[in-house]
Structure 1
Amino acid sequence: MANRPAPALVLREGDLEQLRRLIRASTVKAGLAQRARIVLLAAEGVSNTQIAQTVGVSRPTVLAWRDRYQVKGIEGLEDESRSGRPRQVDHGQIVSATLAPPPKKYGVTHWSSRLLGRHLGISNGTIAKAWREYGVQPWRSETFKFSTDPELVAKVTDVVGLYLEPPENAIVLCVDEKSQIQALDRTAPLLPMQPGLPERRTHDYKRHGTSTLFAALEIATGTVTAACKKRHRHQEFLAFLRQVSRAYPDQELHLVMDNYAAHKTPEVRDWLSAHPRVKFHFTPTSASWLNLVEVWFSIIERQAIHRGSFGSVKDLNARIRAFINGWNDRCHPFVWTKTAEEILTKANRKPISNTRH
């Protein structure tokens, strides 16, 4: 008597569409899609032998996945976790070895996965897996800077106080110089951006001199008063101070700036004494980030200078002036949000009261 074909497999409610999605999905593992196809064919009443021939597996495999589906549903088609051989390499020990400096015999400053693998007698793939698990990246290096200014607390409190609570009827200006701006001219014309292609330029260039940009950023409006000069001395700085003073006549001015020597020469101090409505506020040493004009310098660098091509310093200065004119038409306030206490706490310094210095 011939063997009767197995009865059609009864699918659980809602599983039909899900099984079809598993077969059609391009991101599903091939094994899971194959098992879903076995179950669907079994649900259509196809014999186990025919299913095996159609899918390309053995008949016992078809029987096994039919049984798994009947017991656990679609979840039963997933791969079960395998116990396998327990991990013999402690990832924590790998990371500990990574954090230790390499022996002098290697002559390197940091580990690579291949060198550490050779040193520990394991594969570099195992090393890489441990690094990913612990978030260790020996090939990366960053810089940091901290201020050793003995007046750090007073200066931070003073400058941040100006940003958060500016004096009434006064203008707060962030002043600095962006020096050594190079007029670089590419050796071939730029190739403009096209659909599917970015703008392209030659890697080599010609130098046509440098310029220094003096800028004063009014934080309440974002307006910039600026001048391009050949050099970066106290004479140029004094000339720029006079320009700023003319731009804001009869108004009290508070100028935030760094500790550059040209800002503190006797000539500058004499000018300051003769103009009592202008007051200087110095940022701590190694804390240029506290001067908001540095943010504006990064904007003009990205939007007007870095990708430019200039045949002369005159061309460079013209581009800078054009950007500033356009900027002042669309400018916006520069808003400071962190308090002096938050900054000093992060710097592990004891904050003082909000007394203005």
Structure 2
Amino acid sequence: MWCIGRITAEYRRRMYDLLELYALGYCKESPVICMDEKSKQLLAQTREPMPVRVGSCRKEDYEYKRCGTRNIFLAVEPRGKWRHVEMTNRRQKKDFVDFIQSLLLGRYAQCEKVHLVLDNLNTHFYKIFVEVLGQAQADQLLKRVMFHYTPKHASWLNMAEIEIGIMDKQCTGRRIGKATFLESELKAWENRRNGEDRGIEWKFTKQDADRKLSRHYVAE
């Protein structure tokens, strides 16, 4: 559900920036990467579920056992038809920096420029890289990166949200009690999705935004 409130000039600036970015054609040397993360609660069954039968869906008991939580980082390259997921024990500054660093020094090591789309979580900013890596190493790592942030309360503008929704439907939106099993399922899902050669076709344009949302625009 969208909750549209007052759309300020800053909101519009960030929204237009992303919509213009998404309208660009695919460029291997300057990819657009959308990144997000989610928490996954590990829940184990207390009773064996009843399997699917003809005319009857799978059934499970309403009781479950809590087995902790894990964090899932997800990066998707919509035009490049590629995504990557990684499970961590927690969501701390270093975990985020390590995830981005693995992308920039791995798959995107030879790119001239990297457009990175993020929300406004407090760990998603340049200063966190400096805090974790130090000034010199952070500057070296991020010299090719252009950060693009969604407006506040507008995570729908991050295409990683779409991919997380697909991941939940196909993989993580069920009870999983063991971290090792969650990790193996995530890797299997990633491999399957990438093997399907499917990207994300974003069709909402700047013109669409002005036509549908202009009544919420406010002057400052």
TM-score bucket of the superposed structures, by smaller chain: 0.7 to 0.9
Report the counterpart of residue 124 of structure 2 in structure 1: 263
1:272, 1:281 → 2: CA distance?
Answer: 17
**Contact 1:211/1:317 (8 A) holds in 2:** no
Q: For 2:84, what is the secondary structure of its paired residue?
A: strand
Q: Which has the higher contact order (CA 8 A, sep 6+)?
A: 2
1:340, 1:272 → 2: CA distance?
Answer: 33
Report the counterpart of residue 159 of structure 1 in structure 2: 18
143 and 254 in structure 1: CA distance in 2 versus 1, 3 angstrom threshold = closer
1:296, 1:237 → 2: CA distance?
Answer: 18
Report the counterpart of residue 175 of structure 1 in structure 2: 35
Report the counterpart of residue 195 of structure 2 in structure 1: 329
1:234, 1:265 → 2: CA distance?
Answer: 11
2:126, 2:143 → 1: CA distance?
Answer: 17
Q: For 2:79, what is the secondary structure of its paired residue?
A: coil
234 and 345 in structure 1: CA distance in 2 versus 1, 3 angstrom threshold = farther
Identity of aligned residues (%): 27
**Contact 1:217/1:223 (8 A) holds in 2:** yes
1:310 corresponds to 2:176? yes
RMSD (CA atoms): 2.2
C-alpha deviation, 1:198, in angstroms:
0.7
152 and 177 in structure 1: CA distance in 2 versus 1, 3 angstrom threshold = same
323 and 233 in structure 1: CA distance in 2 versus 1, 3 angstrom threshold = same
1:218, 1:330 → 2: CA distance?
Answer: 14
**Contact 1:183/1:312 (8 A) holds in 2:** yes
Aligned partner letter, 2:82: T
1:147, 1:183 → 2: CA distance?
Answer: 37
Question: TM-score, normalising length from structure 2?
Answer: 0.85
Q: Rg: which structure is higher?
A: 1
Aligned partner letter, 1:219: P
Higher share in strand: 2
143 and 339 in structure 1: CA distance in 2 versus 1, 3 angstrom threshold = closer
257 and 149 in structure 1: CA distance in 2 versus 1, 3 angstrom threshold = farther
1:189, 1:149 → 2: CA distance?
Answer: 52
Give unmatched runs, 5+ long, in structure 1. Answer: 1-141, 351-357
1:273 corresponds to 2:132? no
Q: 227, 243, 248: which one pairs with 2:108?
A: 248
**Contact 2:85/2:186 (8 A) holds in 1:** no
152 and 272 in structure 1: CA distance in 2 versus 1, 3 angstrom threshold = farther
Q: 204, 208, 215: which one pairs with 1:338?
A: 204
Give unmatched runs, 5+ long, in structure 2. Answer: none
Q: For 1:217, what is the secondary structure of its paired residue?
A: strand
C-alpha deviation, 1:279, in angstroms:
1.4
**Contact 2:26/2:80 (8 A) holds in 1:** no
How many residues get paired?
A: 208
1:300 corresponds to 2:159? no
